[in-house]
Amino acid sequence: MKKIVIIGAGKTGRGFIGRLVAEAGREILFIDKDAALVDALNREGSFDVAFFGGVRPAFRVSGYKAVTWEEADLTDAEVIFVSVGGQNLPDVGAALSARLADEEIPIITCENASHPSRTLGDALGKGNPISEATVFCTTIEGDGLSIHSENYPYLQCNAELLQGYVPTVPAVRAIPNFADFLTRKLYTYNAASCVIAYVGALLGYSDYGEAANDSRILALMDKNYAATNAAMCARFGYDPADQREFAALSKAKFTDRTIVDTIARNAREPHRKLGGSERIIGAAKLLREYGEDSAVLELTAAAALLYTDPKDDKWTALRESLTPAGILSEIASLPETDPLAQAILTRVNAIQANLESAIGDVLR
């Protein structure tokens, strides 16, 4: 079998992508510009990936080779994964351009960046298929080469951009209609994250994992997952069991107390997250379109409107200059007469009157 190349041997490259490839029993070539890291990988010959919460035994990644760009040999490569940080893609493209003779070898970018395939393709200047993957898996560097990781089982990538290549690593899933998949992520994962962040802030939490395990927030998430799952299947034709698994993976991630995270990080930039097609308002519109209950997202939008962050000058200025109705009109394009806007504003008033009662009303 041909080898799998992973450019970037950092926490995502070796701890998530490397783990998925190694679990399939495939030969791995790591390429990294950090000579000290390359030397350590070759000297040790293996590293362990431990999983948050001890949900499964640690997995040992071995049977790989690591090189710097000067030693990189891309012949006999089946596919190239790139996980280097979006800002480094132009440099990787230039390095690949000088060494990649076979324009049939597909490349999959694994970056949380805007249009990474375009950025890499512009720098590469060749005809290789370049796809984009979304990275859901949280990884943290441990001692030495070891990695602590969420037990996330898949890497999903854009099938159309692969131009016919079918991944042979079972955990790498080529997804058709990838734009729909990104909407699925936004309205399932990111919307649930906002429930935790903004309602959690109102309840006085600063630790994200603690907020996610509050019985009230758990009940809100479960209610919203049920509505979201039904709407997603109705809109996009997803298999109900697959959508339930997708939602369950997000819940498992958010409620894992061993993943250190904060309310402040997840609640930042509410002006962006309250956009008309974004994770709260856009998701609520979808639920209403398909006759599902949007009450949890109405409450979440209301909580976001009441969220304060002295470090966020733009959001502070919006809150000081506009009413909640004005903010919805300005950034979500929801006039005060819109039924969804009215529902959200009713939730704002309910929260201000009595937070516990406002939550209880949603859960009835």
pLDDT tens, 279-316?
999 999 999 999 999 999 999 999 999 999 999 999 99
Residues 6+ apart with CB under 8 A from 330: 318, 322
Asked if residues 119 and 90 have their Cβ atoms less than 8 Å apart, the reply is yes
Q: From CA 239, how far away is CA 88, in angstroms rounded? A: 37
Residue of 96, 106, 97, 14 lying closest to 61 (CA atoms): 14
**By percentage, how much of the chain surpasses pLDDT 70?**
100
Q: pLDDT per residue over 47-73, tens digit each?
A: 999 999 899 999 999 999 999 999 999
Q: From CA 250, how far away is CA 228, in angstroms rounded? A: 13
The domain made up of 3-176 is a member of CATH 3.40.50.720: yes
Check residue 70 and give its pLDDT.
Answer: 96
In the chain, CATH 3.40.50.720 sits at 3-176
Does 112 score more than 80 pLDDT? no
For the chain, give the mean pLDDT: 96
Asked if residues 216 and 357 have their Cβ atoms less than 8 Å apart, the reply is no
Residue of 153, 150, 124, 155 lying closest to 138 (CA atoms): 150
Residue type, 30: F
Q: pLDDT per residue over 337-352, tens digit each?
A: 999 999 999 999 999 9
Check residue 53 and give its pLDDT.
Answer: 86
In the chain, CATH 1.10.1040.10 sits at 179-363
For 65, the enclosing helix (H) or strand (E) is strand 64-67
140, with CB counted inside 10 A (0-12, 13-18, 19+), is middle
Mean pLDDT computed over 190-219: 98
For 351, the enclosing helix (H) or strand (E) is helix 339-353
111 secondary structure, DSSP code: -
Q: From CA 304, how far away is CA 271, in angstroms rounded? A: 9
Residues 6+ apart with CB under 8 A from 160: 176, 178
Q: From CA 178, how far away is CA 131, in angstroms rounded? A: 10
* Architecture of the domain made up of 179-363: Orthogonal Bundle (1.10)
pTM of the model: 0.85
Does 102 score more than 90 pLDDT? no
Check residue 114 and give its pLDDT.
Answer: 78
